[in-house]
Amino acid sequence: VRRPETVGIIGLGLIGTSLGMALRQQDRSVRVVGMDVEASAVAVARARGAITESAGTFEAFAQAELVVIAVPPAAVVAVATAVAAVMKPGGVLTDVASTKAAIVQTLGRVLPPHVHYVGGHPMAGAEGQGAANADPTLFVGRPFVLTPTAQTNRDALATVSAFVEGLGMHPVVMTPIEHDAQVAQVSHLPYLVAVAVLNAASDEALAIGGPTLAAFARIADSPAALWTQIAHANRTAIVHAVGAFRRELEALERSLADGPALQAHLARASERSPLARSEP
């Protein structure tokens, strides 16, 4: 696998800018061409060393061996289609959207055959948003989910896999459907549950909340417009995850009057919690 000499990053928010910074810190010779609809995001990304040049049009990505699309999920297909039209033969395209099935299926149908797309999703995030909050250490030790299909070019998969390993992430390969089901369980459901807890509590109760509530409040205080796109796009998997969650909550509720049964549920979650604490 040859490491790319020119990488494009389209979308210079928290993830795109953090990726550029991590990439440039690891390889000072790589060209990173960045683009964003907001001129201020481009300026911040450049000032923070995330990109070496900025692009006004998609033609600027003609020489990129790898382009990472880091725009909000609802814009991924349009941006991928536009940039693929100008990329050189054999160019590799990936993205960071947190839902995969619909995007992967559509791009499999509409992208030109000379460009190779591999669906991606870094399992990382932070409270702050935007280029100003970018952090090149965000990805260290985190999974990067890759969602190839039977049609995915194997060299392109190896390229993206090596790229994310170079940034300190560990690639995890699964199908787009598996990805969407799993992130519904461990990302979208917890977010929606935190939203429901905040919306269900009285103002007086919120005011006396301790550290547990504060953690829920930090989770619920995420950009509503972005999450509307994510939750809408992954609604089938979310409904499934909510169903499984509701059954667990009902089992807990039924066991409230039965100490040993209740304790067994609580102990099970405590025992399973290390599985979920892979964070650095």
Residues 154-213 close enough to bind a second copy by CB under 8 A: 172, 178, 181-183, 185-187, 189-213
Which of the ranges 56-64, 79-87, 103-111, 216-224 carries the binding residues for a second copy, by CB under 8 A?
216-224
Q: Is 269 in the site for a second copy (CB under 8 A)?
A: yes
Q: In angstroms, what is the minimal distance from the CB of 272 to a second copy?
A: 5
> CA-CA distance, 198 to 230, in Å (whole number)?
20
Residue type, 166: G
Distance between start and end Cα atoms, the chain: 28
Which residues lie closer than 8 Å to 74 by C-beta, 6 or more apart? 229, 233
> CA-CA distance, 69 to 55, in Å (whole number)?
14
Q: In angstroms, what is the minimal distance from the CB of 202 to a second copy?
A: 7
> CA-CA distance, 243 to 222, in Å (whole number)?
23
Q: In angstroms, what is the minimal distance from the CB of 160 to a second copy?
A: 17
Q: Is 78 in the site for a second copy (CB under 8 A)?
A: no
- Span 219-258, contacts to a second copy by CB under 8 A: 219-225, 227-228, 231-232, 235, 238-239, 241-242, 244-249, 252-253, 256-257
> CA-CA distance, 253 to 120, in Å (whole number)?
38
Beta-carbon count within 10 A of 248 CB: 12
Q: Of 108, 143, 168, 171, which one interacts with a second copy (CB under 8 A)?
A: 143
Interface with a second copy: number of residues (CB under 8 A): 88
Q: Of 49, 75, 135, 265, which one interacts with a second copy (CB under 8 A)?
A: 265
Q: In angstroms, what is the minimal distance from the CB of 253 to a second copy?
A: 6
Q: Are 116 and 156 in contact (CB under 8 A)?
A: yes
Q: Of 33, 111, 124, 134, which one interacts with a second copy (CB under 8 A)?
A: 124
Which residues lie closer than 8 Å to 146 by C-beta, 6 or more apart? 118, 119, 120, 157, 160, 161, 164, 171, 172, 173, 174
DSSP, collapsed to helix, strand or coil, labels residue 104 as helix
- Span 81-120, contacts to a second copy by CB under 8 A: none
Q: In angstroms, what is the minimal distance from the CB of 214 to a second copy?
A: 5
Q: Which is nearer to a second copy, 56 or 279 (CB)?
A: 279
